[in-house]
A and B are shown apart, each in its own frame.
Chain A
Amino acid sequence: MVNNKRAKDVFNSPGVRSLYSSLICIIIGLAVGFIVLLMLSPRNALSGFVTIIKGGFSYGGLGIASAIANSVPIIMTGLSVIFAFKTGLFNIGAAGQYTLGAFGGFLFAIVLDCPWYVCLIMATLFGAIWGAIPGIFKAFFNVNEVITSIMFNWIGLYLVNDIIYGGGTGVMYDRNYTKTYNLKVYHPSSVVPTWGLEKVFNSNTVTIAIFIAIIVAVVVWVILQKTKLGYELKSCGFNKNASRYAGISEKKSIIISMVIAGALAGLGGGLYYLSGTMQWNPQNSNSLPAQGFDGISVALLAMLNPLASVFSALLISHLAEGGGNLDPRYFSREIANLITGVIIYLCAFSLFFKNKINDILGRKDRLLALKIERESIRSMLPTDKYVESDDENAQKEEADKAKEK
């Protein structure tokens, strides 16, 4: 009996209600994807849909490994977006910070031949600096962080491309492959270790980066939930006037928040490119790395919960993997992006779903509140004519109860 009740409480908790609404978004998103597949090629729709659902599981360990490896950078950019959002800032500059992070990693790996952890720290630092600049502009000159960080995305991208390419003679540029030097070949000590994970997945793409990402997600959650810093940052995000009234420096909070957001995105760039399987192509990169913007999707799907961002990143990466496995004769791989897009779009309505769920699950609570409210009124009533009628009510209520029983 007791256990039963406790289990009920778990299903009724606000966190689980958010989860329900996320699930509804995902199901509707998949349904829309299926309709699109049907319209494109009715005969192959079902098999295509299964391929997408199977996603990373299609090719055993290899697919899973790839899905996990690709989820790492978007977990980090997702956390970056979440962190800024909690302070009331929209960090659309995660792409730029991610790029700078990747650059910091390359610089210390290829040029200075540092061990992988030093490279990761430097990647974090580079990202932090790139995040700090829009923060400073916002804090001291009240320049909208969205505008500055979009501009700094492009400034960062071309700066990094230019330095790496260096007119074809850049120190990090491998002319034979028109990319940065392959870290696994030239600088194995700078590659994030796998600690035997390659045997588990039968693939060399998964490194301990995923564990680092999960640990960072937990740390972010702790900072936001448990610390003084989190209290100050959230307070500024919710109500900057009240924060000022409480003596919290808004400028400081904005800058700290952007520095940490930048650091998270930068670490994401580092983790992705230091796993050794990907190289940077400075000539081909005239678009910003998609991981930066996927971070926004991850954050929204996770409903700004740092811990949930791990799962939402895995889901998005899983679906993208499935999209890649589609038969290109009938479908393009972007169908997966379309599904993700619909899911994210629906997330905007998540509050609506949440309210509906609350409505359904909360009816009992409301009836309870009604009863408590009535009882408290009865206790407040003075000993005069009002009591009489209320006693009648009490009798009626009791009669109602008896009927129910």
Chain B
Amino acid sequence: MDELNVAPETIVSNNDYIIEMREITKIFPGIIANDNITLQLKRGEIHALLGENGAGKSTLMSVLFGLYQAESGEIYKNGEKVEIKDPNDANKLGIGMVHQHFKLVDVFTVLENIILGVEPTKNGFLQKSQAREKLVELSERYMLKVDPDALVENITVGMQQRVEILKMLYRENEILIFDEPTAVLTPQEIKELMAIMVGLAQEGKSILFITHKLNEIMAVADRCTVLRKGHCMGTVDIDKTTKTELSRMMVGRDVDFIIDKAPCKVGDEMLRVEGLSVVNGHKTTVSDVSFNVRRGEIVCVAGIEGNGQSDLVYALTGLMKETGGAILYGSDRMSGGKSVGSVNGKYLHGKDTGDVVYVAKDGSNINSKFLHVGKSELNKEFCPQNDEGGHKAVSLRKINRTSIRQRNAGGISHIPEDRHKFGLVLDFPLEYNLVLQRYFEPEFCKKGILRKKNITKYANKLIVDYDIRSSLGAKSLTRSMSGGNQQKAIVAREIDKDPDLLIAVQPTRGLDVGAIEYIHKMIVRQRDNNKAVLLISLELDEVMNLSDRIYVMYEGKIVADLDPKEISVEELGLYMAGAKKMDNIGARDNPFLNEVLSIEERLNDGKLPENKRNELKKAYDSVYERFVAREHEYTRPNVREEVGNGKQ
């Protein structure tokens, strides 16, 4: 059988190694997750386990933790052969794990969570004081600051992770497995965690660190074992290797870390969000958010998980109802919604509501007129057929009330954050998932009968074009595919729709370097094809590399509007953590806009009694006057945007 890169002499039993996994092979139906993998962990070292998605890292750790039984291979602790049949065996051997998604009870205190399962009792009563002493001692010794009496649901993600680490230390585990621990942390918290890990290693703990972030490995690890497609590619000393070499071992070819991007050529406004608010349950998750996205640019909304980005996207895509504000969309593929106009990125509104209002794109000479003219006058002066000074008509539609399907068909694509929840029907074959929003189109469906041949043909085209790998091609069950290929399938589907606006939420979450590079290229290509891209991401590298403009979201508000060329990663991190804020950001173009819109909507309601209608009309006129006045005096505070428009 295979013995990839394992020199024979290293297989000699050796007490230097606290844990040795020898020639582990684990087979799942249709795939070999681990093929003869040998992993040796020295006492007191930080040993990184690097590999792409589906390379077999998690499987290998699950074998070590007793969740899976290997087909062949042996595990040694301190040179003695051990059997690990379930996680309890692993615990007894001193193996502890911090899972990527913490396993904590939210309504318990930190102390209660730490003693869970090993509660000190006397006559059936909990003896917390004894446990508390031990916890305080541990947290001082390892510099892990926690408040023992705080409820877990009230503490930060960083502290929750420290609780998880303390949980392992409390159980006196010697071998600590960290499963992608940095995915949910801010840059500052990552630094802290790295320091903690180094400290733990110095105290004699042995650490297995699963990750696919090369920077972190270079920063803290002593040695690194690289897996690729279930094979062991070798173990290297970090001192003697480089990032490039590691990535080549992991992916099998050279990887570009920096994305080549041409300077962006900004076009018409495609998405404009005005004072958007979303209430989820009883919590206002998005409050008064305003921003825009234009053709030919990638706009990124950065932020730490749980600051309202998800609900913002759900509102934009129609999965959740907004509680206030307007979503304006500029593609003429959109069939529903109410038309409004835009000049120079500035929101306009014709008085005859419900009609398409055309306005000139180069607004310099119409700024003083546009608001007062009705539809007919506008048409005469500024309609495409009449514009002589190179004026081009632009129109925005208010799409708050359009259905999800209308938005899909209107050229909005959405790469969802949670691919299993929203992105895919896992029990469908791949081909069905590739037409998930298009199955009803004449190409795929005739008189209510699916045209399976066409679906398969189209699926095969996407599979080739986007290099989606699976065991049975178009007919494979989506559930059986690896995470990276599932994500590729979603990206293929969403980009192949040729969207005018691509909303990509964490498009590379949990993917390996090769797949990330690929998806980034696709997103940049979308931008270069003069489409608008809204990117929501937690990864700082991704934000800095991809975006042309950055908005930072913190606690449901936009707190910064930044240029990636002008700021550092550290500064971005400060904004994301809420430590820094910009003034004037998220200020709506015109504070009276929403009032105007909402009164209009009520006026359009046919059932309104006459006396109320008159009252409303009066209110409307006064608000509208103020709206107009403000529109005249107002200039956007964002200088960069003015410059951007000037170039066109």
Contacts and interface: CB of A to CB of B under 8 A. Distances in A.
A167 interface: no
Interface stretch (A305-313, A316-324, A374-382): A374-382
A382 B3 CA distance: 18
Contacts of B406: 247
Interface string B227-245: 0111101100000000000
Nearest to B445: A228
A228 B440 contact: yes
B448 A382 contact: no
Interface residues of A, number: 36
Contacts of A243: 425
A227 interface: yes
B465 interface: no
B339 interface: no
Contacts of A230: 450
Contacts of B445: 228
A235 B425 CA distance: 7
Contact of B405 (A227, A234, A235, A247): A247
B5 interface: yes
Contact of B450 (A226, A239, A247, A369): A226
A177 interface: no
B423 interface: yes
Contacts of A382: 248, 252-253
A365 B31 CA distance: 10
A373 B29 contact: no
B436 interface: yes
Nearest to A225: B450
A205 to B, nearest CB: 37
Interface in B16-32: 27, 29-32
A381 B405 CA distance: 44
B567 to A, nearest CB: 34
Given A228-B445, A247-B408, A373 B31 contact: yes
B233 A369 contact: no
A143 interface: no
Contact of B233 (A226, A229, A241, A386): A386
Given A228-B445, A377-B228, A380-B253, A247 B29 contact: no
B471 A369 contact: yes
Given A238-B428, A242-B422, A389-B5, A373 B229 contact: yes
Contacts of B416: 245
B448 A229 contact: yes
A369 B31 contact: yes
A396 to B, nearest CB: 8
Interface string B435-459: 0110110000100111010000000
Tell me which of B30, B425, B428, B437 has the highest count of chain A C-beta atoms within 10 A of its own C-beta: B425
A373 B32 contact: yes
A245 B414 contact: yes
B582 interface: no
B432 interface: yes
Contacts of B2: 374, 393, 396
Given A245-B319, A245-B416, A389-B4, A239 B403 contact: no
Nearest to B27: A366
B162 to A, nearest CB: 33
A231 interface: yes
A246 interface: yes
Contacts of A396: 1-2
Interface in B471-486: 471
The CB with the most chain B CB atoms within 10 A, among A234, A246, A374, A376, is that of: A246
Given A241-B421, A244-B319, A373-B230, A362 B29 contact: yes
B427 interface: yes
Contacts of A229: 448
Nearest to B437: A246
Given A245-B416, A377-B229, A231 B439 contact: yes
B30 A369 contact: yes
Given A238-B425, A238-B427, A242-B422, A370 B32 contact: yes
Contacts of A380: 252-253
Contacts of A376: 229
A22 B8 CA distance: 50
Nearest to B234: A386
B426 interface: yes
Contacts of B319: 244-245
Contacts of B393: none
A276 to B, nearest CB: 36
Contacts of A203: none
Contact of B404 (A231, A234, A244): A244
B572 interface: no
A390 interface: yes
B456 to A, nearest CB: 14
A374 B319 CA distance: 43
A204 interface: no
B304 interface: no
Nearest to A392: B3
A242 B450 contact: no
Contacts of A244: 319, 404, 422
A58 interface: no
A381 B233 CA distance: 10
Contacts of A238: 425-428
B436 A381 contact: no
B5 A242 contact: no
A269 B455 CA distance: 39
B425 A239 contact: yes
A358 interface: yes
Interface in A221-261: 226-231, 234-235, 238-239, 241-247
Interface string B273-292: 00000000000000000000
5 contacts: A245-B422, A358-B29, A369-B471, A373-B32, A390-B4
Given A245-B422, A370-B35, A382-B253, 18 more contacts: A235-B425, A238-B425, A242-B423, A244-B319, A244-B404, A245-B414, A245-B423, A245-B437, A246-B437, A247-B404, A247-B406, A362-B29, A362-B30, A366-B27, A369-B32, A369-B471, A382-B248, A382-B252
Interface of B: 1-5, 27, 29-32, 35, 228-231, 233-234, 248-249, 252-253, 317, 319, 403-406, 408, 414, 416, 421-428, 432, 436-437, 439-440, 445, 448-450, 452, 471
